[in-house]
Structure 1
Amino acid sequence: MTDLVVISLEAWDEVWRRNQHLVAGLLRVRPDLQVLFVEPPGDPVHAWRRKAPRDRGTGLRQVQDLEGAAGRLWAFQGTKWLPRRVDPGGDTRRARRVVQVAEELGFDSPVLWVNDPQGAEVLDITGWRSLYDITDDWLAAERPRREADRTAAQERRLLAHVDVVVVCSRALGSKTTADKPARLIPNAVDTRAYAQVHARPPDLPGLPYALYVGTLHRDRLDVDLCLETAKVVRGVGELVLLGPIALGNDDVKALVEGGVRLLGGRPASSVPAYLQHAAALVVPHVQSDFTDSLDPIKAYEYQASGRPVVATAVPGFRDSASPMVHVRRADAFPQAVASLVADPPVTSTRTGAPDWAERVADFAKVISHLEAR
């Protein structure tokens, strides 16, 4: 068996992102592969501060519902009991626990796949064969100084010591050096899911709607632009945001009071239906160094849906030659959305979107390269 430990930025749940699509695909094409998927730790103190349910880690569990991977996929979530300024050794202790769990599962000299920069702590301890899959430029995101410095130090260690660097966008390739060039493996979409016609989900508004799909976070989402768009669209339709909510309570309150419908996260299998029935798809993203580093999965999902798109000038959309993609400045964005909602075009031919199977094949080559080391 080949053992793989994945240090992920997201949990293994029903809202699939890059890591889950790739890991699931690898498990399907590699029956000799077994995976420990390490989720971000639960953080009870942070949850208490946000007045959210206490977020204690779930420990180790076997993922049972992934077709073709029976007995070969485990997820592990530890717990961050105290803030780092109180418990500066917590990251190292949690990394040692990950190594201990891998040993308990019988993983023998696994390949380490780091997506969350905190995976540097595991690499420091183990020296396992490793790859760093860079999907976001967290150094360009707005973060408290202490957090930004810690992330920068972790990323420096990763770039210096991993065997392979993978990036999802060309912009992220600038992080690497001539002696360790990055391998570009962009995102993709499950084209088979979008080739089917899906029934309209029952939790959608009765009016035509403009839809945004993605995690709701200030790093990406322009909340003020969403509010202005909802105001202009009101009367002909509704603005709907679909995805995990990582906004502050004040932002959530403002959006709800402004007439924006927040649906929260939905299983990946149900997302195509929401896109297919939208009058228009929207990308009200802020324009920043951080968003310039992204290869948004929604660009592929929107393309596969065949629905019209209104986007700010961000990667995945600003260079599109498709007549279905309308790139607009913030001052013209709301009216462009309202026009499409009032008179939605028919669905265009869904062509050209790359499938996750292509990216899985590319990652399989990287894993094989590391196995041979």
Structure 2
Amino acid sequence: MRTAIENQDIICLSTVDWDPIWTRKQQIISRLPLSNRILYVEPPISLLSPFKNKACWKKWPLWWKGLRQWRENIYLYSPPVIAPFGNIYRQVNRLNQAWLAPFIRRAARRLNFREPLLWTYLPNSADIVGRLGEKLVIYDCVDEHSAYSGFRPETVWDMEKSLLEKADIVFTTAEGLYEKRKPFCREIHLIPNAADVDHFQKSVLETTPLAPELKGLPHPVIGFVGVIQDWIDLDLIADLAAARPGWSFVLVGPAGPGVDLKRLHSLPNVHLLGRRNKEVLPSYFKGFDICLNAFRLNRLTATVSPLKFYEYLASGKPVVSVPLPAVEPFADVVEIARTPAEFLKKIEQALTLETPERRKLRLKRAQENSWEQRVAEIMEKIAPKL
């Protein structure tokens, strides 16, 4: 029986641009066999997006550039702008998807695509299914999209249910996502997130240099790596930093639009370094004593499979995390805390109890959760349908 995806044309509708921040989408797509040809469609911006986030202005003219080749078999495409409020009013989304479809078809025709696989991460793509000449629809559900701020939950869930019913196969990253969507699917599988293990394990190598910004910082160094979005518990981090002024708190990653960093900026032992290329991240992990997995506990994070958690494991560093359902199965290798007082206690405990054996155990668990393993599992489920 076929267990790999070979010689296929694939249209991937993603929720994130290809660069600069890599997520599950890029990790999976980039690991598919080279015999496949992939059109990676970046998310369109709305007419209002640049007024909410100035960084979106640079995306405004991108669609005029057409296809951009990233690798011999992967092409990137940024579609034209769309009308706002598509995640609030279903009819607006229908118009948006009808508008986008011919542009995406044209890009696929330029690559001579024939009967592509439609691999989507967007609930609103329910209204583009059937318009791209696809022979198979794959939906990879990575978040509770209806819980996003600024979206109308009823509209987003209505679109997602429609997509679930149309999809030939569905994947989810967390148990909560799986259970909610299972009644609406023909076939569904739970495939959690993972890490680029080989890359992040470089942090344990003697040949990996220490990031220059970390040299001379007082220890312990408590580190966070990732995009700082509104679901990251910045109050928790600020409380910890205020309670332990002799510790260094280092946050590596860009802040999302609207995220308030004023309190963190006011604390002298908090170091906000901004975005760093993924290639150099092991140099930052190398200087951490503890990795902090600090999410707000809400409806969105209850169903999240945090990428950064798996990357923390792969770095070999001790991890202290909030009690996310996706993290609790790793309680044998990480510390779990709920309140600032518990976090302080668990951090001190992790520092005191750290041994080479505990690090080896974390690295072993990370190896069991690599992207190579996840992609093999996903292909094994899809291949028999081709």
Superposition TM-score tier, normalisation by shorter sequence: 0.7 to 0.9
Amino acid in structure 1 at the alignment position of 2:80: T
Which residue number in structure 2 is paired with residue 214 of structure 1?
Answer: 226
Deviation of 1:122 (Å)? 2.3
| TM-score where L is the length of structure 2 | 0.83
- CA RMSD, 1 decimal: 2.7
Match for residue 262 of structure 2?
Answer: 253
Contact 2:115-2:133 at 8 Å conserved across structures: no
Letter of the 1:106 partner, please give it.
N
2:161 maps to amino acid? R
| 1:161 counterpart residue number | 166
Q: Residues 182 and 157 from structure 1, CA distance in 2 versus in 1: closer, same or farther, beyond 3 angstroms?
A: same
Q: How many residues align?
A: 357
CA distance in 2, matches of 1:43, 1:110: 26
Q: Where do 1:12-51 residues align within 5 Å?
A: 12-26=18-32, 30-43=33-46, 45-51=48-54
Greater mean alpha carbon deviation, residues 97-106 or residues 331-340:
331-340
| Residues 1:203 and 2:213 aligned together | yes
**1:209-228 superposed Cα distances (whole Å, 9 cap, x missing partner):** 2111222111x211211221
TM-score (norm 1): 0.86
For 2:238, the equivalent position in structure 1 comes to 227
For 1:20 and 1:44, how far apart are their aligned partners in 2? 26
Unaligned runs of 5+ in 2: 1-6
Equivalence map 1:94-113=2 (5 Å): 94-113=100-119
Equivalent position amino acid for 1:163 in 2? D
Counterpart for residue 194 of structure 1: 200
1:16–1:322 Cα change, 3 Å: same
Per the TM alignment, residue 274 of structure 1 is displaced from its structure 2 partner at its CA by: 1.8
The separation in 2 between residues aligned to 1:15 and 1:131, in whole angstroms, is 23
Q: Report the CA distance shift for 1:23/1:221 in structure 2 as closer, same or farther (over 3 A).
A: same
Partner of 1:3: 9
In the TM superposition, what is the alpha-carbon distance from 1:13 to its structure 2 partner? 1.2
Matched, 1:331 2:331: no
Distance 2:284 2:379 in 1: 31
Identity of aligned residues (%): 26
- Letter of the structure 1 residue corresponding to residue 258 of structure 2: G
Superposed CA deviations along residues 176-233 of structure 1, whole A, max 9, x for unmatched, are 2276241122222222223431211123363132111222111x21121122122123
User: For 1:210, what is the secondary structure of its paired residue?
Assistant: strand
Equivalent position of 1:358 in the other structure:
373
1:158 Cα shift?
0.5
Distance 1:107 1:366, change over 3 A: farther
User: Offset at 1:271?
Assistant: 2.1
Residue 4 (structure 2) aligns with:
none
1:140 is aligned to 147
Q: CA deviation at 1:270?
A: 2.1
**1:131 corresponds to which of 134, 138, 145:** 138
Q: Which amino acid aligns with 1:280?
A: I
CA contact (8 A) 2:335 2:346 kept: no
Q: CA deviation at 1:318?
A: 2.9
For residues 126 and 153 of structure 1, do their structure 2 counterparts lie closer, same or farther at Cα, with a shift above 3 Å needed? farther
Task: Note if contact 2:47-2:84 (Cα within 8 Å) is conserved in structure 1.
Answer: no
Flag structure 1 segments of 5+ consecutive residues without an equivalent.
Answer: none
SS at match of 1:4: strand
Q: Take 1:53 and 1:253, find their aligned partners in 2: how far apart are those partners? A: 23
